[in-house]
Amino acid sequence: MASAALLFPLLGAASPADAPAPEAPAGGGSSGQDLQRAFTAAAAEYHVPRSLLLGVSYLQSRWDAHDGAPSVTGGYGPMHLTDARTALAAAPHRSEDAEDARGDSARPPRVAAHLRGPSGGQLPARLRTLPKAAELTGLSPAELRTDPAANIKGGAALLAAAQKQLGEPLSADPADWYGAVARFSGADDSATAAGYANDVYAVLRTGEKRTTDTGEPLALAARPEVAPRTSQLRRTGLRRASAAGTECPATVSCEWIPAPYEQFGDNDYGNHDLGDRPAAPGIRYIVVHDTEGGWGGVLDMVQDPTYVSWNYSLRSTDGHIAQHVKAKDVAWHAGNWYVNAKSVGLEHEGFLARPDAWYTEAMYRSSARLVKYLAARYGVPLDRQHILGHDTVPGPTTATVSGMHTDPGPYWDWRHYFELLDRPFTATARKAGGGLVTIRPDYSANQPVYTGCVTKGEPCAAHGSGAVRLYSDHDEKSALIKDVGQGSAPTTGVNDISSRVSTGQQYAVADQWGDWTAIWFLGQKAWFRNPKGHPTAVPAAGQVITPKDGRDSVPVYGRAYPEASAYPAGVPAQTVSPLTYTLPRGQKYVVGDKVPGEYYYAVTFATGSHRVVTGKDLYYEIQYGHRVAFVRAADVTLTPSPS
């Protein structure tokens, strides 16, 4: 059934012979002819349709070479040829992992160290395609890893070999290559392979163009008439995986690998809590994480009752999804119990501190489809105050702020992700002066210096980023913005979020000076470069809060808990404790939601004592710093921003 759902109808007649190479689009940078010629030459040598080769490469890497650096699963070059044993053996670790994944002070902490590399044993074939390409082409593994033209040739050789193994001719019509594309995905089940192949043919039908990370403009002309022979999937020999028990859209490949709910040790249990969502508590957030480890190890850990949990894992090579915790239940993933109780957590195979351990287009697309499905099903708004990164989840108490996680980090491409969600970040106001801005740098061109990816204090490799650095004045030589909750001076460290904002986040404008814009951030005026010719942010409209008249400042909270009088007998009242931050008079912050205080009491294995406590006190969720936060509605005034 999963395979059938993925094999959606593709309209149009059989395509004509593959079109000749399109001219490179006009524009700056190099002519683009190096990559154009490489695709043309490889297609001719191995008798693979050039458009098909371009389509497969786009889904793998969006035609980027990443300067020979491997992806999260050890994939190299435009064709993402994998050599995981070489690439991941010494994968650096991200952080000290001090965060309590439960984030509930009513229970002992559950701290989970992330994985430190690929799982042991024999690597699956999908992680060893580069050695196979070396055999087929006679090229050395080093050439295939570092030379884009050689890498493209290796991808063409793999596609041709798959076509021959299926007994299919080396046709000039891309419609005749569906089975080979499915096999090229590396998936070991037909549903995942079909999902991957469908995405490739979607790229062929719509066409694509972009400037690669080497500055070369590249184009694939739209071929809306291409109708692949999907019946070839039956001859690939791939197993039929079951999607039974999963909560996934039909357009992705999904399997059920449950996280255990069982007792052990001294009245402890794992690794999630049973619930009745969305009836109680409601679901209001989707949290994006990265795994800091390889697929096999991640699945091993989530099936350990003494570990922690999340709802879904997404695989980098092909976008395959595993669901572990039902949406009705509460996974332990965000480090803040209020957010856990109201969120779904998605772990993406990745490493925060490896700027070129890039996420594949296949995983981005699969994730976006899952998020759109979940958002529609549970009424979650598609914006950055509801689609959170783990790095934007607030610490629930002052003591937890400095230990909160910072994934998926500055190299996750939020701009591209929200384009896939069909919610691109566009200007929603005429001008920014006195109003709001949405952070929206050009990911590829925006390359702030980060340190500590490999060695503490040493610069990371230059790379595009969705994050923008903040200064205390309109001068890059001025001090970085300080986060008092961190308890240390701000740095350019890849895990230090003290002085940076992220694509899609919205802030109230505090001031402007030439090419600089100031926003209200962590109770301060924070500046970032925003030149008119190449803006870092676009004007936005929305609602903001400011302290009520007569208040010098109001407290800021990391969770929206009820007042003490709301708790029934048998449920201990949770402390409504402000963080070290305040919201000073005259400052404005963008509003996400107005919500009642709520606490899900679930501290026992048996569910009879579980309760949802809802108070009368109301809160506004706001974009306060890099992370979201909460303020009591009674303390502030809500107003629309100028548009």
| Tens digits of residue pLDDT in 559-587 | 999 999 999 999 999 999 999 999 999 99
Q: What number is the average pLDDT over the span 244-254?
A: 95
Q: Residue 477 pLDDT more than 80?
A: yes
Q: Evaluate if residue 126 carries a pLDDT over 60.
A: yes
- 6-to-174, 175, 249, 348 alpha-carbon distances in Å: 19, 17, 10, 21
Beta strands 506-513; 436-439: pairing state? antiparallel
> What single DSSP character describes residue 153?
H
Q: Quick one: pLDDT at residue 174?
A: 98
**pLDDT-derived band at 431, boundaries 50, 70, 90:** confident
Query: Looking at the DSSP assignment, which residues form a beta bridge with residue 220?
Result: 208
pLDDT at residue 3, rounded to an integer: 44
Question: What mean pLDDT is predicted for residues 25-36?
Answer: 55
Query: What is the C-alpha to C-alpha distance for residues 106 and 69, in angstroms, rounded to an integer?
Result: 45
Structural domains of the chain, ranges and CATH numbers in brackets: 2-83+128-235 (1.10.530), 242-424 (3.40.80.10), 432-486+493-541 (no CATH), 545-640 (no CATH)
Residues near 634 by beta carbon (within 8 Å), at least 6 away in sequence:
617, 618
Band (84; pLDDT cuts 50, 70, 90): confident
Reply yes or no: is the peptide bond before residue 118 cis, omega within 30 of 0. no
CB 90 within 8 A of CB 117: yes
Alpha-carbon distances, residue 32 vs 63, 445, 461, 498 (angstroms): 11, 17, 24, 39
Mean pLDDT of 400-426: 96
Nearest in space to 351 (alpha carbons), one of 288, 292, 289: 292
Distances (CA, A) of 643 to 357, 379, 440, 638: 40, 26, 18, 16
Q: What is the mean pLDDT of residues 592-620?
A: 97
Q: Give SS3 for 181.
A: helix
pLDDT band, residue 116 (cuts 50/70/90): very low
Residue 548 CB coordination number (10 Å)? 12
Given pLDDT bands bounded at 50, 70 and 90, which one contains residue 433? low
Give the mean model confidence (pLDDT) for residues 140-158: 97
Beta bridge partners of 16: none
User: Which amino acid type is present at position 234?
Assistant: R
pLDDT exceeds cutoff 50 at 4: no
- pLDDT-derived band at 51 (thresholds 50, 70, 90) equals very high
Categorize the per-residue pLDDT at 63 as very low, low, confident or very high, splitting at 50, 70 and 90: very high
Q: Give the range among 187-191, 202-206, 549-553 with minimum mean pLDDT.
A: 187-191
Tokens describing residue 641? 């921003």
Q: Which of 464, 463, 452 is nearest to 406 (CA)?
A: 452
* 13/181 Cα distance (integer angstroms): 20
Q: Does the pLDDT at position 9 exceed 90?
A: no
**277 pLDDT exceeds 70?**
yes
Q: Angle at CA 560, nearest 5°, toward 634 and 386?
A: 110
Question: What distance in Å separates the CA atoms of residue 239 and residue 34, rounded to the nearest whole number?
Answer: 39
Is residue 626 within 8 A of residue 524, CB to CB? The reply is no
* Gap between the Cα atoms of 350 and 303, Å rounded: 19
* Residue 254 pLDDT exceeds 90: yes
Residue 11 predicted with pLDDT over 60: no
Under the banding of pLDDT at 50, 70 and 90, the label for residue 516 is very high
pLDDT > 80? residue 2: no
Asked whether the predicted pLDDT for residue 606 surpasses 90, the reply is yes
What's the rounded mean pLDDT across residues 190-214? 95
Across the range 117-130, mean pLDDT stands at 73
What pLDDT does residue 5 have?
44
Render 34-53 in DSSP notation, one character per residue: HHHHHHHHHHHHHT--HHHH
- Residues 259 and 310: their CA atoms lie apart, in Å, by 8
Q: Is the pLDDT of residue 93 over 70?
A: no
Q: What are the structure tokens assigned to 102, written together?
A: 């439960």
pTM over the 0.85 mark: yes
Quick check: bond before 281 cis, omega within 30?
yes
d(CA 21, CA 15): 16
| Mean pLDDT confidence for 195-211 | 96
431-436: average pLDDT: 74
The CA distance from 628 to 343, in Å, is 14
| pLDDT for the residue numbered 12 | 33
Largest CA distance in the chain: 80
* Spatial distance between the Cα atoms of 502 and 388, rounded to a whole number of angstroms: 11
**Average pLDDT along the chain:** 90
Query: What are 355-386's pLDDT values in tens digits?
Result: 666 788 999 999 999 999 999 999 999 999 99
Q: What is the pLDDT of residue 123?
A: 78
